[in-house]
């Protein structure tokens, strides 16, 4: 078998995020934390892969169906070396299990045949290896042999054994020559005539070593040796099957393992494409971001809102991170869209650094980060544990990871203490972040915080837009005329506590 090496589809995977971060943002892709990357070249290569899949629905469907064979192939590889049965039937069926390999190769090649024009070099390389393997003589011989064995398995009636002799014509080796669906015919010419048997030339024995012959040779007093003789023959037969199975598996094993190694990449690919197609079906627009040194998005959407409201009611907002725009303090009224906005930023950045298109419209340029960190409100873990102590411990771990190549998202940090202390602590935190050079968004109810940091040029104040006392849910730069209260009274009235203000 020609050894074929299949390169990984997704490379340069890096620990950009943690499982806890994915959970905090409710990211819809599971088990994807090992597929993030901060490499611009890798993101560009992935974007080309996903373009091919998202632009060719027939190819995507055929490929998805082909990937179902990968599970059978992985199971076959797990079972190698574990089947120690002496049953001849099980050994033959174990040989037929190799069809999991050939079925996978054939299905992948069939999917490739449905593709229009692939532009991804990595996909072309993978399918080129599949085609090279499929067209090799060794692979064709293996397929033909396996399909014939599979078709004849339930009708096997004889084996052709080859016997090697030494110079004295003594038996030195016995091996399997062929597996047949016709029995050999043994006996005299008269026996064959009476049984009306007309065997083919290859199925007529010159002589036979059977029960009658052994009885005659060994005589009845030594009949027990007849059983030992046939047991020995069965042992030789099963040993030959084991050797055949081992030889075939060894010849194909390296290629099988190389193909199975890309299974997790394919699983992620299919899950990611499924997520994007679902978002498209919900009505979201998607853009593959231009990979840049600064981030500028005209209209950013949060795809999680599709489960809560109609798509036409979802309001987009802008997103910018540049050398002079690195830290944003987001204040404003309750239920104004602050948490939705910060989650949208995290969702978009994760999606971008997987190589996928993001839910956005208009200009979309994004820069990759080596680390994405969140610090959201978390319930106190112990009944006697201080909320502030718990929050401080978690924040310390977050701050230990940040640098210029970090995106930090903070939601209501220090809300567990008094407003006076929270203001002091938040101001100290913002000054520290300005020194680190990270990009950050801080959601807070401390409306006076930005005015205490006005001398920091990298810090900007943004807020949900309010028109005529109504929340628009669009995040905009803060203007002096903007509402600086949290509209708390309006919120509680809207939610059934209006009677508190009747007097």
pLDDT at 223: 47
Per the domain annotation, does 72 fall within a domain?
A: no
In a domain, 262, yes or no: no
Which segments of 220-312 are extended strands (E)?
A: 286-287, 290-291, 295-300
For residue 10, name the pLDDT band (cuts at 50, 70, 90): very high
pLDDT of residue 194: 47
Does 235 fall in a domain? no
Domain boundary (207, 226, 245) is at 226
Query: What band does 440 get if pLDDT is binned at 50, 70 and 90?
Result: very high
What the block records as the tokens of 427 is 């101001």
pLDDT bucket at 166, cuts 50 / 70 / 90: confident
Poorest-pLDDT segment among 133-137, 266-270, 436-440, 471-475: 471-475
pLDDT of the residue at 85: 57
- Please indicate, yes or no, if residue 249 is contained in any of the structural domains: no
The answer to the question of residue 138 being in a domain is no
Report pLDDT digits (tens) over 352-368: 999 999 999 999 999 99
Q: Is the pLDDT of residue 411 over 60?
A: yes
What is the Cα gyration radius of the chain? 35
Choose from 147-161, 190-204, 427-441 the range with maximum mean pLDDT.
427-441
Last residue of a domain, one of 183, 210, 226: 226
Tell me: do 222 and 289 sit in the same domain: no
Mean pLDDT of the chain, nearest integer: 83
Question: Does pLDDT of 145 surpass 50?
Answer: yes
489 lies in the same domain as 346:
yes
Would you give the DSSP letter of residue 319? E
Final residue of a structural domain among 226, 243, 260: 226
Q: What residues make up the domain containing 452? A: 285-501
Could you report the per-residue pLDDT of 261-291, keeping only the tens digit for each? 999 999 999 999 999 999 999 999 999 999 9
Burial of 438 (0-12, 13-18, 19+ CB in 10 A): buried
- Residue 205 has a pLDDT of 60
Crossing angle of helices 57-79 and 263-282, rounded to 10°: 150
Residues 307 and 220 in one domain: no
For residue 193, being part of any structural domain is answered with yes
Q: What average pLDDT does range 309-338 have in this prediction?
A: 90
Indicate whether 361 and 464 sit together in one domain.
yes
Q: How many domains does the chain have?
A: 2
Instruction: State whether 314 and 436 are in the same domain.
Output: yes
Three-state secondary structure string covering 39-104: CHHHHHHHHHHHHHHHHCHHHHHHHHHHHHHHHHHHHHHHHCCCCCCCCHHHHHHHHHCCHHHHHH
Residue 336 lies in a domain: yes
pTM metric for this prediction: 0.79
Q: What is the CATH number of the domain that holds 437?
A: 3.40.50.300
Q: Are residues 299 and 213 in the same domain?
A: no
- Of 117 and 224, the structure prediction assigns the larger pLDDT to 117
Which of these, 437, 460, 429, lies nearest to 318 by C-alpha position? 460
In this predicted structure, the answer to whether residue 221 has a pLDDT above a threshold of 50 is: no
Same domain, 354 and 492: yes
Q: How confident is the model at residue 36 (pLDDT cuts 50, 70, 90)?
A: very high
pLDDT tens digit string along 383-408?
556 788 888 988 999 899 899 999 99
Question: So what's the pLDDT on residue 291?
Answer: 98
Are 205 and 293 in a shared domain? no
Q: Are residues 217 and 289 in the same domain?
A: no
**3-state secondary structure labels for all residues of 356-411:** CCEEEEEEEEECCCCEEEEECCCCCCCCCCCHHHHHHHHHHHHHCCCCCCEEEEEE
Q: Which of 98-102, 156-160, 443-447, 482-486 has the highest mean pLDDT?
A: 443-447
478 and 372 within one domain: yes
Mark whether 290 and 425 lie in a shared domain: yes
Do 207 and 302 belong together in one domain?
no
15 lies in a domain? no
């Amino acid at each position: 078998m020609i050894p074929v090496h299949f390169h990984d589809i997704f490379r340069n995977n890096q620990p950009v995020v943690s499982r806890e971060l994915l959970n905090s943002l409710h990211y819809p892709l599971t088990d994807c934390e090992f597929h993030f990357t901060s490499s611009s070249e890798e993101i560009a290569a992935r974007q080309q892969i996903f373009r091919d899949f998202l632009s060719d629905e027939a190819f995507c469907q055929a490929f998805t169906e082909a990937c179902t064979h990968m599970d059978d192939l992985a199971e076959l590889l797990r079972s190698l070396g574990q089947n120690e049965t002496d049953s001849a039937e099980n050994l033959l069926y174990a040989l037929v299990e190799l069809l999991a390999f050939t079925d996978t190769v054939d299905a992948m090649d069939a999917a490739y045949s449905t593709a229009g024009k692939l532009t991804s070099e990595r996909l072309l390389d993978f399918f080129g290896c599949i085609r090279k393997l499929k067209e090799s003589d060794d692979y064709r011989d293996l397929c033909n042999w396996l399909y014939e064995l599979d078709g004849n398995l339930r009708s096997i009636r004889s084996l052709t054994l080859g016997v090697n002799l030494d110079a004295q014509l003594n038996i030195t080796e016995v091996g399997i020559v062929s597996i047949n669906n016709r029995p050999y015919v043994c006996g005299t010419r008269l026996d064959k005539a009476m049984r009306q048997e007309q065997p083919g030339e290859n199925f007529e024995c010159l002589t036979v070593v059977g029960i009658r012959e052994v009885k005659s040779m060994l005589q009845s007093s030594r009949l027990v040796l007849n059983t030992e003789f046939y047991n020995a023959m069965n042992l030789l037969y099963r040993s030959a099957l084991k050797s055949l199975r081992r030889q075939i598996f060894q010849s194909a094993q390296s290629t099988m393992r190389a193909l199975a190694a890309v299974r997790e990449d394919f699983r992620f690919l299919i899950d990611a494409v499924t997520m994007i197609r679902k978002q498209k079906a919900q009505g979201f627009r998607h853009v593959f971001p231009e990979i840049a040194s600064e981030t500028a998005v005209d209209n950013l959407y949060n795809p999680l809102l599709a489960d809560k409201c109609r798509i036409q009611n979802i309001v987009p907002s802008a997103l910018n991170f540049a050398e002079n725009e690195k830290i944003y303090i987001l204040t404003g009224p309750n239920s104004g869209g602050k948490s939705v906005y910060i989650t949208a930023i995290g969702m978009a950045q994760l999606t971008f650094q997987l190589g996928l298109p993001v839910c956005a419209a208009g200009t979309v340029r994004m820069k990759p980060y080596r680390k994405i960190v969140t610090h959201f409100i978390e319930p106190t873990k112990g009944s006697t544990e201080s909320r502030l102590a718990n929050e401080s411990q978690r924040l310390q771990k977050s701050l230990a990871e940040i640098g210029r190549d970090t995106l930090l998202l903070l939601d209501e940090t220090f809300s567990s203490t008094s407003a006076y202390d929270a203001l002091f602590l938040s101001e100290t935190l913002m000054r520290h972040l300005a020194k680190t050079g990270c990009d950050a968004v801080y959601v807070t109810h401390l409306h006076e915080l930005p005015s205490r940091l006005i001398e920091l040029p990298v810090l900007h104040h943004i807020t949900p837009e309010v028109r005529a006392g109504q929340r628009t849910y669009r995040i905009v730069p803060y203007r002096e005329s903007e509402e600086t209260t949290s509209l708390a009274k309006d919120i509680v009235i809207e939610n059934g506590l209006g009677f508190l203000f009747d007097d």
